[in-house]
Chains A and B, each alone.
Chain A
Amino acid sequence: MKVVIGQGSCGVATGAKKTAAEFERLIAEKNLDVAVDITGCVGTCYLEPIVDVYEDNGEMTRYVKVQPDKVEKIVEEHLVGGNAFAEQAISEEDKQFVEKQQRVVLRNCGVINPEDIEEYIAVDGYKAIEKVLKEMKPEEVIEEIKVSGLRGRGGAGFPTWFKWNACKASPGTEKYLVCNADEGDPGAFMDRSVLEGDPHSLIEGMIIGGYAMGATQGVIYCRAEYPLAIKRLEIAMAQAREKGFLGKDIFGSGFDFDIYIKAGAGAFVCGEETALIASLEGERGMPRLKPPFPAAKGFWQKPTDINNVETLANVPWIIYNGGAAFGAMGTEKSKGTKVFALAGKIKKGGLVEVPMGMTLREVLYGIGGGIKNDKEFKAVQMGGPSGGCIPASLIDTPVTYEDINKTGAIVGSGGMIVMDEDTCMVDMARYFLNFTRDESCGKCNYCRIGTKRMLEILERITEGKGKDGDIELLEELAMKIKDGSMCGLGQTAPNPVLTTIKYFRNEYEDHIYNKKCTAGSCKALVTYSINDDCKGCTLCSRHCPVDAISGSVKEKHVIDPEKCIKCGKCLDTCKFGAIDKK
């Protein structure tokens, strides 16, 4: 018998380590013959900590939300008694979250122990690279990727085979394959999950890519905010080296390939290829003019190919199962599966991998379970700061590169942030502009100064100081920033503003002309008042920091709007729901 505890970052954040320690303590105390193991993120983040109990015959029972105090019951009932402890086991409904998915990239996440190469090998790991090195020519590998239709999963959706081919075609013997693991979109975390849960599939994908394009050195540029990912990658690389999968003469083929990790230092612009290369070279991460493209002159002026984590993690599966099998999933132009990170106001947040072409409705309601607290769905933000908000009216849009682009958003790295009636769309636009303003490298004037000016306008609107003509001014600036910026950051920075104006112009107008925030989110435009549910308990008036609430005991209280600083303390303290926020 074996107990496996999900220990990705989300699992650990909810206390998985304490849960694991409790299992170990009780198993030792009762002297049971049960191993305790770890695995990566299962993807059902909303159910963490997750514990899987495997019988010797391979049968598995999944327990969810296993806080340390729940461990004893499971140990007693299941490990000692031999009966599943139904109360803590995953519900049939929650099982659907995983069962409705089709997992390629996440095939091993939450299944194998990421710190043990033998477990990866046991699920046909490193078979693809063996096949490649023993049976395939580099051009055949590229052809297989072409057949699969794999497109870059990091944002732009550029055909992967084309990049590989360009790098292969560049003259020179010293070439680099760089993996972009600098997952910068605030709201996407599939790359972290792969790095933490299945690092070997990335490593294998990189070796295959290296062979196809003739690169012998791989570099993984990983975010410093992902310490666990870096640790697991280091363990995986050391194990792969020991097995001879990395290093000289892999599988006796004469092909050499090795990888090192470079920790990024926190700059969103480094998602741009040339900025990433500058950062790898120890410089400020500022984009360079293209051409020359990295495939011709990249890292240290040598031919360089840059692919995202999810893209590369697909590669071993494609080679092992054939490009046609991958291409059979998805739609004609957007083939295969894609991982989406569901977060925000969604019931079941987590990682979802589905064939492309599924509609937003199926993803958000069919798998994600709909909106938290059954509120009204307003919009979903896709593509992060480079993307846009897709309104509820377009919920039947199929998730493909083309269809999402048509809405003004982008598939991007696959973050889906769900918003409900309480989310203010003007505030969302302000949030993203604040982000891009901070992250602009400062090279192009329009991006550096334009985003700041746009942010100032948005701030003034959310503070209730918006003026007639502000919307038009935002639109004009947006177009100029798009035209006047060299790299993707500036070219896409205005998208969140443009899409919210396109679909939620009424909210902008409400803010500007009626000085109202219907979502009740913009502080300056909100008023607090006390309704008839007030019991006169005086709690709010005692907590009010500015003495704005008056009233006698057991009588309805009143808020003086002149004095109120809109801190929301009264709303937090009231036990009777008597405070209205409008």
Chain B
Amino acid sequence: MSEKGCNCGCNCQENRAAQFADLAPVLEQYAKVPGSLITILQKTQDIYGYLSMDAINYISEMTGIKPAKIYGVATFYAQFRLKPVGKNLIMLCQGTACHVNGSEAIEEAISEHLAIKDGETTEDGIFTLNNVACLGCCSLAPVMMVKNADGDETYGNLTKDSVKKILDEIRERA
């Protein structure tokens, strides 16, 4: 067993490496490069959709950075999620222009339509709703971006009705 692993004589270390096999190339590239923690966490989230405690512990083992510090960084930045997300991540813009043009009403419409609040995931795991600061499409306010395995798509000039229609279409495709 390595000095950082346990000494119980089991093969948990190898099991863990197998569990995080997808992460191996990322860690190989960045684990020893100073200042790369955020990049590692971003790539981990890209692969698994969120940062599990297991993943945080594993990254700690491989980089030598204490889990508490990784957790500190992960909770500091808005981008990182510690819970799994649905197949479609709705990033609803709450920037100033969107706010002025009624993004709160859009949020209410989504919440009502999908029965989830900001940060929650639908029971069927198809949608997660996240409020975000600004998507930079201010002239098309209110705006949302929907992220899924196919990439991300931005929808502008939303109304309470159009947003429901868009979500229904996505649900049909899922």
Contact = CB atoms under 8 A, between A and B. Distances in A.
Tell me, yes or no, whether A binds B.
yes
B13 interface: no
B78 interface: yes
A419 interface: yes
Given A187-B97, A266-B78, A343 B141 contact: yes
Interface in B92-106: 94-101, 105
A431 B35 CA distance: 34
Contacts of A344: 96-97, 100-101, 138, 141
Contact of B139 (A46, A183, A572): A46
B73 A343 contact: no
A167 interface: no
Given A265-B80, A384-B96, A225 B132 contact: yes
Interface stretch (B3-11, B82-90, B151-159): B151-159
B23 interface: no
Contacts of A451: none
B interface majority secondary structure: mixed
B133 A266 contact: yes
A543 B91 CA distance: 29
A187 B138 contact: yes
B111 interface: no
B162 interface: no
A384 B100 CA distance: 13
Contacts of A283: 37, 73
A349 B139 contact: yes
Interface residues of B, number: 42
A14 B156 CA distance: 7
B100 A423 contact: yes
B134 A282 contact: no
A432 B94 CA distance: 11
Interface residues of A, number: 57
A195 to B, nearest CB: 10
A262 B42 CA distance: 11
Contacts of A345: 100-101
A428 B97 CA distance: 11
Contacts of B72: 284
A183 B38 contact: no
Contacts of A350: 139
B160 interface: yes
A265 B38 contact: yes
A432 to B, nearest CB: 8
Given A13-B143, A279-B38, A343 B136 contact: no
22 contacts: A10-B139, A46-B139, A184-B133, A186-B133, A187-B97, A225-B132, A225-B135, A265-B78, A266-B78, A282-B39, A284-B72, A284-B73, A285-B76, A300-B34, A342-B139, A343-B96, A343-B141, A349-B139, A381-B96, A384-B96, A417-B100, A431-B96
Given A192-B136, A341-B139, 19 more contacts: A9-B137, A13-B154, A187-B97, A187-B134, A262-B38, A263-B42, A265-B77, A265-B79, A266-B78, A280-B35, A282-B34, A282-B36, A284-B72, A300-B35, A344-B100, A345-B100, A350-B139, A415-B138, A431-B96
5 closest A-B pairs by beta carbon, nearest first, are A45-B139, A349-B139, A266-B78, A186-B95, A265-B77
Interface of B: 34-39, 41-42, 72-73, 76-80, 91, 94-101, 105, 132-141, 143, 152, 154-157, 160
